[in-house]
């Protein structure tokens, strides 16, 4: 088996290769003067199982094209089996036609990955698990929630409450909470007057307790910021935000910290300064077991 490091996930690919104790190939990736990408795999790949590790966060389109070129080149160079390990799959949130005429981008991207040469596909905490049904190749959607929970369990949290941002996130939150043996809940909408709706934990009191907000993605940080302001009014003690994918566009992290979030805890599906938890053991474990 050979692990190929896409440029968006070079550190993670190295960690996965180390876990699997197998060779790591760093492809030659350059840009032509007009901005086009050049990709070269300078290794013998015939009859190999090749795993390409490439996340597709910003710059999304460049990272996607690199993924397509790597998949196609590996296949063309005779790899026996090519796994697309895409820890963060971009466009996954545009998973249906919300308005007539919209492109269902998630479906398009899945089809393109498959057509580029992937024999199977692996990702982590895909926004909507239904999206992977667009593939006809075998797919696996791993979850980093237990790893986040294990990290949180090492912090000295006081009567922690793990909070999801909506009812749909309850299963994710449960997986985190199980590692800490902590209480968990989600933020429900509450009508305070005919004109005003606020959010608050559906069942639990947070006063004087540490709260960990858990989401799959933190992007603009708007949800975390709104939730933090409300939790602070409810006298929560320290507030943490944990996520799998630290998209954290623009100055989102600064804004989140400014409203009083103690720390953002994320994984390395996207390499970011908040990536304190590695999904390498998760990906390596899945590959080792043949998914």
CB of 124 to ligand R5P, least distance (A): 14
Residue with smaller CB distance to ligand R5P, 158 or 249: 249
CB of 183 to ligand R5P, least distance (A): 21
Residue with smaller CB distance to ligand R5P, 165 or 270: 165
Residue with smaller CB distance to ligand R5P, 122 or 187: 187
Q: How many CB atoms lie within 10 A of CB 45?
A: 20
Helix (H, G, I), strand (E, B) or coil at 275: strand
Binding residues among 192-221 for ligand R5P as defined by CB under 6 A = 215-221
For residue 276 the two structure tokens come to 């304190």
Among 113, 116, 161, 223, binds ligand R5P (CB under 6 A): 223
d(CA 176, CA 150): 8
Residue with smaller CB distance to ligand R5P, 218 or 231: 218
Q: Please, are residues 74 and 45 in contact by the beta-carbon 8 Å criterion?
A: yes
d(CA 159, CA 267): 24
Is residue 187 close enough to count as binding ligand R5P by CB under 6 A?
A: no
Binding residues among 115-144 for ligand R5P as defined by CB under 6 A = 127
Among residues 44, 96, 189, 258, the one annotated as catalytic is 189
Residue 189 is among the residues annotated as catalytic for this protein: yes
For residue 151 the two structure tokens come to 């990290």
For residue 104 the two structure tokens come to 């269902």
Binding residues among 58-117 for ligand R5P as defined by CB under 6 A = none
Quick one: which of 215, 223, 224, 279 has its CA closest to 243? 215
Quick one: which of 207, 236, 210, 242 has its CA closest to 224? 242
CB of 128 to ligand R5P, least distance (A): 8
Binding residues among 161-180 for ligand R5P as defined by CB under 6 A = 165
Q: Please, are residues 13 and 4 in contact by the beta-carbon 8 Å criterion?
A: yes
State the catalytic residues. 189
Binding site for ligand R5P (CB under 6 A): 127, 165, 215-223
């Amino acid at each position: 088996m050979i692990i190929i490091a896409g440029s968006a996930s070079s550190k993670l690919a190295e960690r996965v290769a180390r876990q699997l104790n197998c060779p790591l190939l760093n492809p030659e990736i350059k840009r032509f003067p007009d901005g086009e990408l050049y990709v070269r795999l300078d290794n013998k790949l015939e009859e190999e199982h090749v795993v390409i590790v490439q996340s597709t966060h910003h710059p999304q389109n460049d990272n996607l094209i690199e993924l397509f070129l790597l998949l196609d080149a590996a296949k063309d160079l005779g790899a026996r089996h090519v796994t697309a390990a895409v820890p963060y799959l971009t466009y996954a949130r545009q998973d249906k036609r919300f308005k007539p005429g919209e492109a269902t981008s998630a479906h398009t991207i899945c089809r393109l990955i498959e057509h580029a040469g992937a024999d199977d596909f692996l990702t982590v905490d895909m926004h909507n698990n239904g999206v992977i049904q667009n593939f006809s190749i075998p797919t696996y959607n791993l979850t980093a929630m237990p790893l986040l929970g294990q990290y949180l369990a090492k912090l000295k949290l006081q009567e922690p409450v793990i909070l999801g941002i909506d009812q749909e996130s309850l299963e994710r939150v449960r997986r985190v909470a199980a590692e800490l043996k902590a209480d968990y809940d989600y933020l429900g909408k509450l009508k305070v007057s005919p004109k005003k709706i606020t959010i608050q934990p559906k069942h639990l009191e947070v006063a004087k307790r540490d709260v960990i907000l858990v989401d799959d993605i933190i992007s603009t940080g708007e949800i975390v910021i709104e939730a933090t302001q409300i939790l602070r009014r409810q006298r929560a003690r320290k507030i943490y935000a944990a996520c799998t994918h630290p998209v954290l566009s623009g100055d989102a992290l600064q804004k989140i910290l400014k409203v009083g979030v103690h720390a953002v805890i994320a994984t390395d599906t996207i390499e970011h300064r908040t990536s304190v938890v590695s999904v390498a053991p998760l990906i390596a474990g899945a590959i080792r077991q043949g998914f």
